[in-house]
Amino acid sequence: MATAYQIVTESIIKQLESGVAPWRKPWRTEIPANLVSTKEYRGINIFLLASQGYGSRYWITYRQAQALGGSVKKGQHGSKVVFWKIDEYGKENKGTGETENRKSVLLRYYTVFNLEQCEGIKSPDTVRVIPPIEQCETIVNSMPNRPSFEQDSRAFYRPSTDTVGMPARSAFDSAEKYYSTLFHELTHSTGHPSRVGREGIMEHNPFGSEDYSKEELVAEMGAAMLCGVAGIESRTLDNSASYLQSWINRLRSDSRLIVSAASQAQKAADYILARAATDSEADPKGETEHETL
Q: How many whole angstroms separate alpha carbon 64 and alpha carbon 192?
A: 44
pLDDT tens digits, residue range 259-273? 788 889 999 999 999
**Looking at residue 286, what is its pLDDT?**
33
Same domain, 176 and 236: yes
Same domain, 102 and 175: no
Same domain, 220 and 283: yes
Overall pTM > 0.75: no
Which structural domain, as residue segments, surrounds residue 59?
33-119
Same domain, 111 and 207: no
pLDDT tens digits, residue range 20-61? 443 445 677 788 999 999 999 988 888 788 888 888 899 999
Same domain, 144 and 111: no
Same domain, 77 and 197: no
Domain boundary among 119, 144, 160: 119
Same domain, 205 and 259: yes
Burial 275-286 (b: 16+ CB within 10 A, else e): eeeeeebeeeee
